Amino acid sequence: MSQYVLDGGGYHAEITEMGAALRVLRHGGRDLVASWPEGGPVPHYSGTLLAPWPNRVAGGHYTFRGEALTVPVNEPERGHALHGLVAFAGWKVVELLTVEDDHAFVRLAHTIEPSPGYPFRLALQVRYAVAADGLTTTLTAENIGDRPAPYGCGPHPWLIADGGPEEGWEFDLPAGRVLLTDDVLIPTTLEDVAGTRFDFRSPRPLAGTVLDEAFTGIVPGADGLARVRLRGAEGGIQISWDAAVLPWVQVCTGSGFGHRGIAVEPMTCPPDAFNSGTDLVVLDPGAKHEASWTISIIP
C-alpha cells in the first residue's frame, strides 16, 4: 500500500493509495486525527472518503428515476450499505508537489465503474494540500457516463483535541437540528436540538455524551464556513467547510467501542438520502460536484 508524505506550515500528513485515506495528521508532533498502522487495517473508516454516498443506504435498496437498485450490504449487523464504494478502493496518484517546510499537495484519482447496484460512471479526484492554514481536502466528482447519477460525499476523520481524556474535551457544534434514528440507525424524525443532549451550540464538555447522529441547520461564520471545534487542556482542533455545499455533519463518539477520537463527517446529504432524496445531488452527464474541508489547529 503506497503512501505519500506531505509537510508544510508545521503540518505533517500521510495519505495512502488505498481509499485515498488520511492515515496520519500531526502538527508540531501532536496527533490531530486517530492514525493506524501503515499496512492497515483501517479502524472504523478512519480517514477514508465516503462516496457516492455517505453513511447508509437502508437495506442496500433504493429507487432512482423509477429503477429499483440494490448495492452490496457491508454492515451485516444492521443490514445496510455503509459509506459508499470507494473507502477501501485503490486510488492512483496523478500529481505530487512538495515544497520543504512551506506547502505540499497530492492529487489522487479513482473511477467508479458501473455495477448492477450503481450503474453509473463517475471520475473522482481528491486533492490533499498542507500549508500554514491546515490540511485542505478537495473531492471532485464528474459524471463521465451517459445517464444521470445520484451522488453524495463526505470525509471520515476521527479528530483528537489533545492527549487528555475525551470526556474533558469541549465540543462546539453550531447546528440547530438533529436527525433522530431507529435502533438500526435509519432516520426517523428531524428535531430541534434546544433543550436536548444534542445542543452544543454553546461549547460544553462532552462529559461522557455518546453521539452517532447527523446534524443540520448549521450556522456558518461571517465567511460562510461552518466550524466544528474540539478543545482540550493541551490544545484544540477544528474542521471547517462551506455549509452551502455540505449542509449536514455526522458526529460519532468512539468511546463506546474503544476507538480514540470524535468522528466529525461533513456531508452533502443525510443518512439514507438515496431513499429519502433529501439534499441528494443528481449529476447529469458531464456535470461535476466539488466539496472541500480543512482540518487545522486552534491557536
User: How many Å apart are CA 57 and CA 115, to the nearest integer?
Assistant: 16
Residue 274 dihedral angles phi and psi, to the nearest 5° = -65, -20
Architecture of the domain made up of 3-297: Distorted Sandwich (2.70)
Domain boundaries, the chain: 3-297
H-run or E-run covering 273: helix 273-276
Residue 166's Cα: distance from chain center in Å? 20
Distance CA 179, CA 89 (A): 29
Under 8 Å between Cβ of 27 and 297: yes
Measured CA distances, 215 to 84, 87, 126, 224, 240 (Å): 19, 22, 25, 17, 15
pLDDT on residue 24: 98
**Alpha helices (H) in 33-77, listed in sequence order:** none
Evaluated on CA atoms 277, 53, 62, 150, the torsion sign reads positive
Assessment of whether the complete model's pTM goes beyond 0.95? yes
In degrees, rounded to 5, the angle at the alpha carbon of residue 87 between the alpha carbons of residues 100 and 45 is: 85
Between CA 288 and CA 283 the distance in angstroms is 7
pLDDT truncated to tens, each residue of the chain (299 aa)?
Answer: 699 999 999 999 999 999 999 999 999 889 999 999 988 899 999 999 999 999 999 999 999 999 999 999 999 999 999 999 999 999 999 999 988 778 999 999 999 999 999 999 999 999 999 999 999 999 999 999 999 999 999 999 999 999 888 889 999 999 999 999 999 999 999 999 999 999 999 999 998 889 999 999 999 999 999 999 999 998 999 999 999 999 999 999 987 778 899 999 999 999 999 999 999 999 999 999 999 999 999 97
**What is d(CA 145, CA 123) in angstroms, rounded to the nearest whole number?**
9
Q: Which three cell numbers stand for residue 294?
A: 480543512
Instruction: Report the alpha-carbon angle 289-287-116, nearest 5.
Output: 90
Would you state the pLDDT for residue 100? 77
Question: Residues with Cβ < 8 Å from 29, sequence gap 6 or more?
Answer: none
Measured torsion, CA atoms of residues 269, 270, 276, 282, in degrees rounded to the nearest 10: 10
pLDDT score recorded for residue 214:
98
